[in-house]
Chain A
């Protein structure tokens, strides 16, 4: 077993790239869930953002316009969800699933003419001397713009929820929408804005995959990233900064599994015990770990779950 070929710096750099899309989608969904709405349509919004960003990028030749288009695309799709759940009082679980289904189909339709095309490069900020720093240079400072945007969004959301009045209102709406309404807060409006934000972030996450990480368009290319984002929100106990760790865990395990295969590592020895590291077991690992974390979190007496999560709000109720 020779792990000497795996470079920790490159591994972490790959990990950060792999975690960015799910990080973006997760932070968006966190805001939505803190407002008391459960949007299971993250996958649909991500893939819609992916194709919108890709298509606009290719047509206009400008990757920046593409990124903007992806945010708008994701938000537009989430608007359907917002209307269904906030005005038509539809069941949130079903609406989210319908959104995923529709998003996957609709994006594949738009994407028909875009397979096998290379999009314009978004480029990375040249951070000059920072990249020369041993270890941290490669791991932190050689990335593209969106990685840093993602970090920025997480920080912004964390500050927003903790220190601003609007953040407090959002949290109140999520905890107990009846009391919030009684206090005069516009529950429906807050929730719609939150849903749109979630849609935009998910769209951005999707665009990261199609414009930067691969970069290419293929039907269904998010491959379940939206569902992982949902898991990350719970893993993070609805706290923004913990989203970072959740995303790194998931992104990391995927990347680690590939690197171990590449290095030819097939088992780990613990004294006389041998743990086989077959591809399938490594691929399973993030999901099993999430379940473990979910159990650990929920077993605690005080849960961080927003009180009104998933419940429809109607004035005369």
Chain B
């Protein structure tokens, strides 16, 4: 009968092959889904994956949109990946994203209407600090009281949403906004706006930073001691303890870093594509980034590619929605399937299939 045997070393071939196979399998399964929904599967797949990149009518607009959408996903996923490798699960990145955005926007709006070169970096710093601070709550509760960080960080997402609502209607509300909830549009405030750096690319500072951090993380994971420590803690907590790694310090660093990056993603988004702090401006990047982290195999380069792929499914999905009347929910189902296939195929990196005859112990 078929059994799984652990490999002595993870298979390089399979590790590289898995994402590709997963995408292919998802396309096939997705094709069946489209058929059930009554749409031409080839047309749907083409609209979802090919058109946003290469179509003459839409390509020029949507290619840069890929970066816009992928930027925050990559940024957050990079931060998460460090913790995930070490078995530290930050599920509350969405909350850290919100608090980072709120802190950064508050700082920027406090200076309104003065224009100065210092406002932008100050605003970004505040955003990073806000996210870091929000992640410190689960970090401290875990180190001091051994409280499960999954649930704490998750509950704090809902708390953050309520704080957002309070501020959008109260303290941060636009005084010139005719009573409507929502802050001033930061894109209209030159000193605080996060515009495209090179026109037509969609690359704002958040995107640049995301790619920069990707490189940084690559170096960190491969050359720096922290990279080694997280990998070891993830694979064998006991060995890690024996080798002198301070688990509490690791928790604080990992959660803090992921919180900071999520907060940065939040403020870049709000001062850029989103424009204003308003009720429900957060669209779930904190959760999608978790998927991106796994799709990217917790590896910085993988995360960049996975982020772009996820962005493609979003944008292609929106295109398909308009052109084929495909329901928006189909995209979520698609993304879920992608992750399923990836997780299922992942096993072959560490285990191999073998036939064993006779009794298995």
Contacts and interface: CB of A to CB of B under 8 A. Distances in A.
Do A and B come into direct contact in the complex, CB within 8 Å?
A: yes
Interface of A: 40, 44, 80, 83-84, 88-91, 93-95, 97-109, 112, 219, 224, 227, 230-231, 234, 278, 280-281, 283-284, 287-288, 290-291, 294-295, 297-299, 303, 314-317
Contacts of B228: none
B333 interface: yes
A94 B334 CA distance: 16
A102 B147 contact: no
Contacts of A295: 141, 145, 147
A290 B151 CA distance: 9
Nearest to A91: B343
A97 B340 CA distance: 10
Which applies to chain B's interface (DSSP): helix, strand, loop or mixed? helix
Contacts of B294: 91, 94
Contact of A291 (B152, B328, B360): B152
Contacts of A287: 155-156, 158-159
Contacts of B146: 298-299, 303
A97 B290 contact: yes
A234 B148 contact: yes
A269 B13 CA distance: 67
A109 B360 CA distance: 43
Contact of A278 (B3, B154, B166): B166
Nearest to A234: B151
Contacts of A227: 154
Interface stretch (B103-111, B259-267, B344-352): B344-352
Contacts of A316: 5-6
Given A112-B327, A230-B151, A287-B155, A90 B333 contact: no
A93 B89 contact: yes
A200 to B, nearest CB: 20
Contacts of A303: 146
A100 B151 CA distance: 16
A298 B156 CA distance: 17
B329 A101 contact: no
A297 B154 CA distance: 17
Interface of B: 3-6, 33, 37, 89, 91, 141, 145-148, 150-152, 154-156, 158-159, 162-163, 165-166, 287, 290-291, 294, 327-337, 339-340, 343-344, 346-347, 350-351, 360-361
Contacts of B343: 84, 88, 90-91, 94-95, 98
Given A95-B343, A109-B330, A283-B162, 12 more contacts: A84-B343, A98-B343, A102-B337, A102-B339, A109-B37, A112-B329, A231-B151, A281-B166, A298-B141, A314-B4, A315-B360, A317-B6
Contact of A105 (B141, B290, B291, B331): B331
Contacts of B166: 278, 280-281
A290 B260 CA distance: 24
A108 B327 contact: yes
A290 B148 CA distance: 12
A101 B332 contact: yes
In the A-B complex, the 7 residue pairs with the closest CB atoms = A102-B336, A105-B332, A108-B329, A105-B333, A98-B339, A90-B343, A101-B336
B91 to A, nearest CB: 8
Q: Which of A100, A231, A291, A299 has the most CB of B within 10 A?
A: A291
Q: Which of A83, A101, A281, A294 has the most CB of B within 10 A?
A: A101
Contact of A94 (B3, B163, B328, B339): B339
B155 to A, nearest CB: 4
Given A90-B346, A231-B155, A98 B162 contact: no
A120 to B, nearest CB: 25
Nearest to A95: B343
Contacts of B328: 108
Contacts of B147: 291, 294-295, 297-299
A287 B160 CA distance: 10
A299 B166 CA distance: 32
Nearest to B295: A94
Given A101-B291, A101-B332, A316-B6, A291 B155 contact: yes
Nearest to A97: B290
B330 A280 contact: no
Given A234-B151, A317-B6, A97 B287 contact: yes
A111 B181 CA distance: 32
Contacts of A105: 329-336
B151 A88 contact: no
A11 B156 CA distance: 27
A284 B333 contact: no
A109 B327 contact: yes
Given A105-B329, A284-B159, A303-B146, A294 B339 contact: no
B336 A294 contact: no
Nearest to B361: A315
B339 A101 contact: yes
Given A94-B294, A219-B329, A295-B145, A314 B339 contact: no
A316 B339 CA distance: 26
B256 to A, nearest CB: 18
Nearest to A99: B336
A89 B4 contact: yes
Contacts of A224: 158
A105 B147 CA distance: 32
Q: Which of A88, A299, A317 has the most CB of B within 10 A?
A: A88
A300 to B, nearest CB: 9
Contacts of A317: 6
B316 to A, nearest CB: 15
Given A105-B336, A284-B159, A314 B6 contact: yes
Contacts of A278: 166
Contacts of A97: 287, 290-291, 339
Contacts of B148: 234, 294, 298
B287 A88 contact: no
Contact of B340 (A84, A107, A288): A84
19 contacts: A89-B347, A95-B343, A97-B339, A98-B336, A102-B333, A105-B330, A108-B332, A108-B333, A231-B151, A231-B154, A280-B165, A283-B162, A290-B155, A291-B155, A291-B156, A314-B6, A314-B351, A315-B360, A317-B6
